[in-house]
Chains A and B, each alone.
Chain A
Amino acid sequence: MIVPSLEHYLVLSAILFVLGAIGVLTRRNGLIMFMSIELMLNAVNLTLVAYSRHLADMAGHILVFMVMTVAAAEAAVGLAIIWAIFRNRTTVNIDELTLMKG
């Protein structure tokens, strides 16, 4: 069993980030896109904590704290927006939200 070092955590974080990116690019359901964004944010958190441990600096933890706070605020407002959109157009399929298209 290979003992994990910093590189292992970074590669894992990259894989999760990239999975989130694929989710945002390929899915058209607004809610699932939102979840993929949360996945990306979590992957970044993992990178921060791994480096924080490697460099023995607690500032990384503070940054993760801030990222979690921003993600919580973003989730609340984003879901309220999706709710408002759904109320008006009964769809969350982003391909159909073309009101402002030129």
Chain B
Amino acid sequence: MEALFFWVFAVVSVVAGVLVITRRNPVTSALWLVVVMFCLAGLFLLLHGFFLAAAQVIVYAGAIMVLFLFVIMLLNLDDVELGAARPTFVKGLSVALAGGLVLLVVAALLAGRPAPVAQPPAAVATPPAAPAAGEPSFGDPEALARLLFTDYLIPFELASVLLLAAMVGAVVLAKRELRP
């Protein structure tokens, strides 16, 4: 059952990803990106990242992409990209390089796999060692929160300062100049 979900999410996310980068209309691109976000949220769920799946939907699909859509709609762009398109040579080269990169990753993974013996490769679906009694299990928000407020407290505080800076910066940049 999990395998079925994985393949569905994987295929849909790749197809939607291709559609994101090929559509002319930015609004259509943005909506296909939302589809990708959703598929990724589903994949996070399969990987037992419960809090992250919810955060992906709330933050990425629910806030960042809405912001994108706002800006695209307010800019009211033309569909057609004006001017000459990039030369086909550049497009072809970038696709070839990208394809090469994927092949490199696949080759690296195949080379690193142990020689096929009687046992199957460790599936990601195998649960890790059972947690101690009273400890939150893997992927629980409580486990994440525990780490966030003890070991990773400084990054947490820095992230909040970063968000403050981004908020101030965005307001300043988007403000119209006040006439004296």
Contact = CB atoms under 8 A, between A and B. Distances in A.
A54 B139 CA distance: 12
A4 B29 contact: no
Contacts of B74: 83
A25 B162 CA distance: 28
Contact of B106 (A11, A16, A46, A73): A11
The number of chain A residues touching the other chain, given as a range, is 35 or more
Contacts of A2: 3
Contact of A16 (B13, B55, B139): B13
B20 A36 contact: yes
A39 B20 contact: yes
Contact of A42 (B37, B49, B124, B138): B37
Nearest to B110: A7
Question: Chain B binding site: helix, strand, loop or mixed by DSSP?
Answer: helix
Contacts of A95: 83
B59 A68 contact: yes
Given A26-B21, A53-B124, A80 B174 contact: yes
B162 A69 contact: yes
Closest 9 CB pairs of A and B: A56-B128, A23-B21, A73-B166, A80-B173, A25-B94, A18-B98, A80-B170, A14-B105, A19-B17
Interface of B: 2-4, 6-7, 10, 13-14, 17-18, 20-21, 26, 29-30, 33, 36-37, 40, 43-44, 46-49, 51-52, 55-56, 59-60, 63-64, 67-68, 71-72, 74-75, 77, 81-83, 86, 90-91, 94-95, 98-99, 101-102, 105-106, 109, 113, 121-125, 128-129, 138-139, 143-144, 147-148, 151-152, 155, 159, 162-163, 165-167, 169-171, 173-174
6 contacts: A14-B101, A53-B139, A54-B122, A65-B144, A74-B166, A91-B82
